Amino acid sequence: MLNEAARNLAADFPGVRALFPFEGPPYLPFQRWARRAEPVHPSPLRQLIHPEFGLWHAYRGALLFREKLHRPRPQRHPNPCQGTACIGYLEEQAGNGQKDFLGRGCLSRRACPVGLKYAYRPAQAGFHMQALLAAHGC
């Protein structure tokens, strides 16, 4: 329905085309475009991370104009993956007495199904997570 709406919108304006991320292969470089349009950064998970929406945003379509549009550049924000967001969150959980949380380790690492039987057990994961916090002076 959204696709139809974008196509209709483009049809109403001569010289405007609707483009979609799923059209391909080869796929259109939506993530590269997004980095020029929004304050997003690449995350280690390959999705772009937004300072407010985190990893919870996606691109549904783009409108291609014949003329160059002059838009203000997006405001710069530091990459949340390079800041203290991850460490601050772990510190907060540890501070709340959530020691079992440390034992589970990094959940995004655990989400990968490959080699799951080699995943660290709680004591070993906890050891590394504590070391990570200590390395950040927590």
Query: H or E segment at 4?
Result: helix 2-12
Among 7, 16, 17, 28, binds ligand B12 (CB under 6 A): 28
Closer to ligand B12 by Cβ: residue 21 or 51: 21
Interface with ligand B12 by CB under 6 A: which range of 5-13, 54-62, 86-94, 118-126?
54-62
Residue 22 binds ligand B12, judged by CB under 6 A:
yes
Q: Which part of the chain contacts ligand B12 (CB under 6 A), choosing from 2-10, 41-49, 111-119, 128-136? A: 41-49
Alpha-carbon gap, residue 100 to 74, rounded angstroms: 40
Structure tokens at 54: 């985190």
Q: Are 111 and 74 in contact (CB under 8 A)?
A: no
Helix ranges restricted to H, 13-77: 30-37
Q: Provide the binding-site residues for ligand B12, judged by CB under 6 A.
A: 21-22, 27-32, 42, 45-48, 57-59
